[in-house]
Structure 1
Amino acid sequence: MVDSDSRDLRENGFVRLPGLASGDALARLRRAVGRLEELTRERTVSTGDFVLEAPGIGGWAAWQQGAGALTGVLRSADRIHVHVPEFDAVQRELGLADGLVARAAGGPGELINAFLWAKPPVVGSAKPWHQDMAFAPPGFAAREQGIVTIWIALEPATERNGCLEFFPGSHLLGLLPHTGDRERLPGEPPLQAAVEPHVADEHLPRTADPVAMPLDAGSAVLFDGLVLHRSAPNTTATEPRTAVSFVYKVPQPSWARRVPAAARP
């Protein structure tokens, strides 16, 4: 990470990392995704770790409402480094925690989770505006720690198939109000009309326009846990958008100041 990258991260809350996982690393990540798909090929119901896509309402809502989903068609997967340890091996060999993350945040990162983000053609659903810090695990010391995510595209991510979008500078606004339903716990009854947690329009920044982040396969984006981001649905017929992300706990970066709610746009 060069000085201009660090400046972009401080000012915008995100930075592009071209060609981060190329060659063998990219091939290994793709094979590891294949193993995740094998684990879920016969699944018809979403769980906490494996969310299946559902036409019309999206995978998250279908999971929360107990509605039908597409057999074996993943929308997302949680703890992928536990289900398929190859993911952890690749991020270690790329030196992400002690390299890129440490240079970005001023201290080494600790991997706390890893995800698959699949957005199949035609049915790939949207992800609304949110901040990752809103979903930090219990006991996370938000005043002392931060989150840095490295999101790696395994196929080209475009505006047509649902690349990430960011609000530049929104990481400087502190944690914004999120509305919607929390994920139901095992054994809890389905929700009748689930609303995925998100930042409502009235709380979105007015100081900058959203920026799309298209990525080539193997390229990545590193972003702060407080930056607002989303992804649109996949409107293509033949272009899957598949990515993995590695989430690191870090000492709270110096730029992650918090402002009073009254001062927020």
Structure 2
Amino acid sequence: MSAPEVITSLQNAHVKRLVRLRSRRDREQEGVIVIEGAREIARAVSSGVSLSAVYSAPDLHSAEAAGLAPTLQAPGALLSRAAFGKVSGRENPDGLIALAPTPRVTLPEPGPQAVTVLLHGLEKPGNVGAILRSADAAGADSVIVLGRGADPYGPNVIRASQGSVFTLPVAVMTEHDAQAWLAARQFTTFACTPDAPRAYWDAPLTGRVALLLGTEHEGLPAQWRQTDHSVSIPMNASRGADSLNVATAAALMLFECARQRRRRSA
């Protein structure tokens, strides 16, 4: 039995397609997402994502990628080191890229102690991915992404989330639909804003809770600040620090929710 052909040409159709799919517009037109990295692919598969294609460069495989590649049940192709470097979005790729249909997520019906995170207008994939990772780690139930901020299923968000985007329900909604969903399920909403007089650790973060976060530059728009509660994260501004990275703010809020729930159930 002959060895499978290895794609070496940078003009190959597979290579050209993968380069094209770096664009959000092209991914949306095709209805696919790009998952790069053994850890992220493994988490996607274990969460029920059905891969439509797998591209592998054995010369670049880490130990994790080498162990995972033979188990992946999807059509694919082998790429040379140079061809994989052309399509990879990473400095030190591990030689695995997979494609899958874009997830269509329906949020689960929330339990009495559900926590959801609402992200308004966040554009940096690293921040969105880090928030997803923190939400997963803190036991949040879902994340709602509003509008045309960072693509929650973009390759850089997937990487920054370490694959948590696949283990946590993440839905993209319009503002109207998000407000209606929260209201119909009687969530108590908490807008995280720097000028709120109440510290987040003094807020009653139990029951069905929605944490609302906006961009670091503009914050939340007026309609989202006019919610049940506004909370802030007190800071020592005497040395000039007057704001926090939004992913850090989200992590603090999420783990305070978890702390209050543990204390309540003790």
Please give the TM-score of this superposition, normalised by the length of structure 2. Answer: 0.23
Which protein, 1 or 2, shows the higher relative CO under an 8 Å CA cutoff with sep ≥ 6?
1
Which protein has the larger Cα radius of gyration, Structure 1 or Structure 2? 2
Q: Which has the higher strand share?
A: 1
